Amino acid sequence: MENTLYTITVFSENTVGLLGQITIIFTRRNLNIETLSVSPSAIKGIHKFTITLLSTEEVVSKMVKQIDKRVDILKAYYNTDEDLVFQEIALYKVATDKLFEKGSVEELIRKYHVRVLEMNADYVVFQKAGHYEETQQMFEELKETVGVLQFIRSGRVAITRSKVERLSDMLESIQEKFEKNQ
Amino acid sequence: METKTKITGAHAFMQALVAEGVDTIFGYPGGAIMPVFDALYDYDKHLNHILTRHEQGATHAAQGYARVSGKVGVCLVTSGPAATNAITGVADAMLDSTPLVVITGQVGAALLGTDAFQEIDVVGITQPITKWAYQIRRSEDIAWAVARAFYIARSGRPGPVVLDFAKNAQIQEVDFDYKPCTFIRSYLPVPEVQPNQIEAAAALINQAKKPFALVGQGVILSNAENELKAFLEKADIPAAWTLLGASAMSSDFPLNKGFLGMHGNVGPNMKTNECDVLIAIGMRFDDRVTGDLKTYAKQAKIIHLDIDIAEIGKNVIPDAPVLGSAKDTLPALTAKLNPAKHTEWIASFAEYEKLELEKVIQREVYPESGEITMGEVIRRVSDATFDNAVIVTDVGQNQMLAARYSKYSQTRSLVTSGGLGTMGFGLPAAMGAKMGAPERTVCTFCGDGGFQMTIQELGTIMQEQIGVKMIILNNHYLGMVRQWQEMFFDERYSFTNMQNPDFVAIAKAYRIDGSEVHKREELDAAIADMLKDDKPYLLVVNVEKKGMVFPMVPAGACVTNILLGD
């Protein structure tokens, strides 16, 4: 079966060892994480994981259930690229002299919507936000033309297109149900 | 119980256990848990601590205790090697959904991560095999962590919880204020019954001509035995049970058609691929039940009742999933069923029953000559205990035959390591079972191999005078492996033959009564001698060396591909 890139979103309590609990679910099934990004969410005390994975829907759906099942996980779901607005960010460090040998950087900046974060006599640091293919294309071009001293790309961050249930609403309804049953 | 006083973490821990209703602990002391054991010394009136001879024994004993009583089994061990010794029982409890709280000592928080003496990463090691694993580093967290641990272990689909208890937190003083945990916002243990799912499932059952129910441990764990009976009776649905679902229905219940899976009965396996609606209740379509999934019940509409959404569609994709506790979903479903009769369909099981009786059971349970068989020992023990005993098994041929040939008159009567298949489970689990159900007779069937894996627990049995009836079915082989070697490995008996000690002499050394049987004529008298009182007893029965367990669906084969060994 053809593999598709899935984005798994996980909301969790901010407890020690949570990342380990999630990654062992991948390890056990011999699945390789493509990208991973973890940060505090909009709600205080809740962390958000964005994980991308090349796999089949059958595998991803079962795995997301296993993640969701862990006690400290509030919610886990998965999407394909069509359901998402997503972005990655990349930083490129190139040698200043090489860059100037090439001549103008205007074309590069216009073509890739690049920001310059730092510039000195030794090196220049560019920043580009975009999809994987876009940041990769710029990397290839810089490598060919001036060489790249350092390159780093972030994990994916993503927002769903559909009107999904908001986590804060979900938490409220959980709390309400609990209080009703007391 | 709510108290507020300044006490040590170890004492706070004791009070928390008492507040959770704990009365029995299986454990083994050591360096990093000594403050807790010191506090335990003051709580001997509330907490009965059983000193096992190995930490694995403590975990299996706690499992046996939990399985018969429905309460949470509790283990208390030290750090490092004690924690790793306990791992097998924790993993076993995870696969068999057994509620356990295992407390491991840990080096002081200041030493964590320094490779200190007897330090290992217990939380890291146990995370994949627990419902929850947590390290208590401060005494302030004790009440919270213990309350949460018991709530998680016993609620929803039960399972093991590990609390790794750093030594400094055992010693530090704390204002102790205990409140039981009843809610965790990220954890919804019992999903609400969804009326539309009930409707869909009921519609399928009401149309069914040949419905068939598969009963798993979920029925027992949710105390839904009566609800199951009412459900099956209303729509006249024949049912079979998984290994862990054994005794959810009594053996004489007319709709009970027997045991499923690899060494199950012929009828239930054949009928799986003949029924028109298959109703799985609190079971997880384990590969030992389904065989080849590609050929499993393809003709049937499948209804799957389970409390764990991750089980729905994991192995078999249901046409009608029913999420929730069987205690809630079964009555909701029963209410929507039309009373029905499936007399002809139910009668059609009889031909397979007859076939199995002739080809398999006659030889195994009622042999007239030749060596003693395992099956006849098991049935005679069942008869002699009026089918009322708790049967605890080890793993292998003894296990499959004990499950097949014991009869069950009440629930929670078979304690066995189903998912993990842990050899050495039987003896310590039987101790725990006897502690958990002291009023019942507890018999454990072990092979000569498995018995020797945890044989040291005879010391625990001696010290505590735990009245377990131990039966070794001695064939001088690792019987199930030998059977596979005979059937699938060209009779190459690679390291399955065992030279055994004089087991009765070993029991005698532990001052435990015992006897050994070589001939069929001696068997009944020996069983009667074993059952004459409530004291521990070891009965060694020398059985046929090359006995086989049939019927058998070979691993990965279609459930209708049943070998009868004829």
Chain B residues 488-527 with CB within 8 Å of chain A: none
A20–B152 CB contact, under 8 Å: no
Coil, strand or helix: which one is B119?
Answer: coil
Q: Do the Cβ atoms of A73 and B186 come within 8 Å?
A: yes
For residue B234 the two structure tokens come to: 């209303």
Q: Where do the CATH 3.40.50.970 domains begin and end in chain B?
A: 5-176, 371-542
Chain B residues near residue A24 by CB distance under 8 angstroms:
127-128
In a domain, residue A24? The reply is yes
3-class state of residue B507 by DSSP: helix
Contact of A171 with chain B, judged by CB distance below 8 Å, is answered with yes
In whole angstroms, how far apart are CA B461 and each of B86, B245, B285, B423, B510? 19, 28, 36, 19, 9
Residue A173 placed within a domain:
no
Q: Which helix (H) or strand (E) holds A168?
A: helix A167-180
Nearest by Cα to B107 from B122, B118, B91: B118
Picking from B466, B501, B484, the residue whose alpha carbon sits closest to that of residue B392 is B466
Domain co-membership, A137 together with A93: yes
- If asked whether residues A72 and A139 sit together in one domain, one would say no
pLDDT-derived band at A164, boundaries 50, 70, 90: low
pLDDT at A104: 80
| pLDDT value of position A42 | 87
Q: Which residue reads 């489970």 in tokens?
A: B425
> What is the CATH number for A103?
3.30.70.1150
Q: Of A33, A66, A84, which one is at a domain's C-terminal end? A: A84
Dihedral angle at the C-alpha atoms of B77, B79, B80, B85, nearest 10 degrees? 10
**Contact B284/B314 with Cβ under 8 angstroms?**
yes
One domain, residues A50 and A64: yes
- Is residue A168, in this structure, part of any structural domain at all? no
Could you tell me if A56 and A11 lie in one domain? yes
Phi/psi-derived region of residue B502, left when phi > 0, alpha when psi is between -120 and 50, beta in every other case: beta
Secondary structure class of B202 (helix, strand, coil): helix
Q: Terminal CA-to-CA distance of chain B, rounded, Å?
A: 63
Q: What is the average per-residue pLDDT within A133-139?
A: 96
The residue type found at B494 is S
CATH topology of domain B5-176: Rossmann fold (3.40.50)
Does residue A65 belong to the interface with chain B, where contact is any CB pair within 8 Å? yes
Same domain, A24 and A70: yes
Lookup result for tokens 């001036």: A146
Nearest C-alpha in B relative to A172 = B185
Q: Is A175 among the domain residues? A: no
User: Does the residue A131 lie in any domain?
Assistant: yes
Query: Cis bond leading into B128, ω under 30°?
Result: no
Tracing tokens 């769903």 back to the chain, one arrives at: A160
Residue A165 lies in a domain: no
- A121 and A62 in a single domain? The answer is no
Query: A143 — contact with chain B (CB < 8 Å)?
Result: no
**Is there a single domain that holds both residue A10 and residue A66?**
yes
CA distance B302 to B234: 19
Together in a domain, A59 and A18: yes
Instruction: Give SS3 for A88.
Output: strand
pLDDT-derived band at A176, boundaries 50, 70, 90: confident
Q: How far is CA A14 from the centre of its chain?
A: 18
Spatial CA neighbour of B75 closest among B112, B105, B32: B105
The number of angstroms, rounded, from the C-alpha of B353 to the middle of its chain's C-alpha atoms is: 27
Residue A102 forms part of a structural domain: yes
> What ipTM goes with this model?
0.91
From chain B, the residues in CB contact with A74 under 8 A are 185-186
Contacts for B402 with CB less than 8 Å, ≥ 6 apart: B378, B391, B393, B414, B416, B445
Q: What is the DSSP string of B281-298?
A: ES----HHHHS-GGGSST
SS3 B254: coil
* CATH assignment at residue A24: 3.30.70.260
Contact B126, B187 (CB under 8 A): no
Question: Does residue A17 lie in a domain region?
Answer: yes
Domain co-membership, A12 together with A65 = yes
Q: What is the pLDDT along chain B (566 residues), one digit of tens a residue?
A: 555 669 999 999 999 999 999 999 999 999 999 999 999 999 989 999 999 999 999 999 999 999 999 999 999 999 999 999 999 999 999 999 999 999 999 999 999 999 999 999 999 999 999 999 999 999 999 999 999 999 999 999 999 999 999 999 999 999 999 999 999 999 999 999 999 999 999 999 999 999 999 999 999 999 999 999 999 999 999 999 999 999 999 999 999 999 999 999 999 999 999 999 999 999 999 999 999 999 999 999 999 999 999 999 999 999 999 999 999 999 999 999 999 999 999 999 999 999 999 999 999 999 999 999 999 999 999 999 999 999 999 999 999 999 999 999 999 999 999 999 999 999 999 999 999 999 999 999 999 999 999 999 999 999 999 999 999 999 999 999 999 999 999 999 999 999 999 999 999 999 999 999 999 999 999 999 999 999 999 999 999 999 999 999 999 999 999 999 98
- Whole-prediction pTM: 0.95
- Specify whether A149 is located in the same domain as A90: yes
Q: How far apart are CA A110 and CA A98, in angstroms?
A: 19
β-strand pairing of B132-136 with B160-166: parallel
From chain A, pick out residues whose CB is under 8 angstroms from the CB of B106. none
Q: Do B314 and A62 lie within an 8 Å CB cutoff? A: yes
Distance CA A32, CA A88 (A): 19
Residue A152 burial (CB < 10 Å; 0-12/13-18/19+)?
A: exposed
Q: Is residue B144 within 8 angstroms of chain A, CB to CB?
A: no
Burial class (CB in 10 A: 0-12, 13-18, 19+), B300: buried
Closest CA to B381 of B483, B508, B530, B521: B530
If one counts the domains in chain A, the total is 2
Query: Which candidate from A66, A71, A174 shows the least CB-CB separation from B310?
Result: A66
Q: How far is CA B301 from the centre of its chain?
A: 29
Residue A182 scores a pLDDT above 70: no
* CATH class name, domain B371-542: alpha beta
Q: What is the pLDDT of residues A9-66, one digit of tens each?
A: 999 998 888 999 999 999 999 999 999 999 998 888 899 999 999 999 999 999 999 9
Domain enclosing residue A76, as ranges: 4-84
| B267 to B219, B398, B561: CA distances (angstroms) | 22, 22, 12
Measure CB to CB from residue A24 to each of B128, B182, B310 and give the nearest one: B128
Residue A42 distance to chain B (closest CA, Å): 17
What single DSSP character describes residue B120? -
HSE-CB for B207 with a 13 A CA cutoff? 10
Q: Are residues A77 and A98 in the same domain?
A: no
- Residue of B127, B152, B185 lying closest to A17 (CB–CB): B127
Best interface-test mutation with B: which of A16, A28, A66, A71 has the largest number of B CBs within 10 A? Answer: A71
Q: Could A69 and B183 be called an inter-chain contact, meaning their C-beta atoms sit closer than 8 Å?
A: no
B458: helix, coil or strand? helix
Residues of B marked active site are found at 55, 117-118, 167, 480
CB contact, 8 Å: A67 with chain B?
no
Interface test with A, best of B186, B190, B193 (most A CBs within 10 A): B186
CATH code matching the domain that covers B195-350, chosen among 3.40.50.1220, 3.40.1780.10, 3.40.50.300, 3.10.105.10: 3.40.50.1220
Residues A8 and A80 in one domain: yes
Check A171 against B184: CB less than 8 A apart: no
Residues forming CATH 3.40.50.1220 domain(s) in chain B? 195-350
Q: Residues 313-372, chain B: which have Cβ within 8 Å of A?
A: 313-314
Last residue of a domain, one of A84, A102, A121: A84
Burial class (CB in 10 A: 0-12, 13-18, 19+), A147: exposed
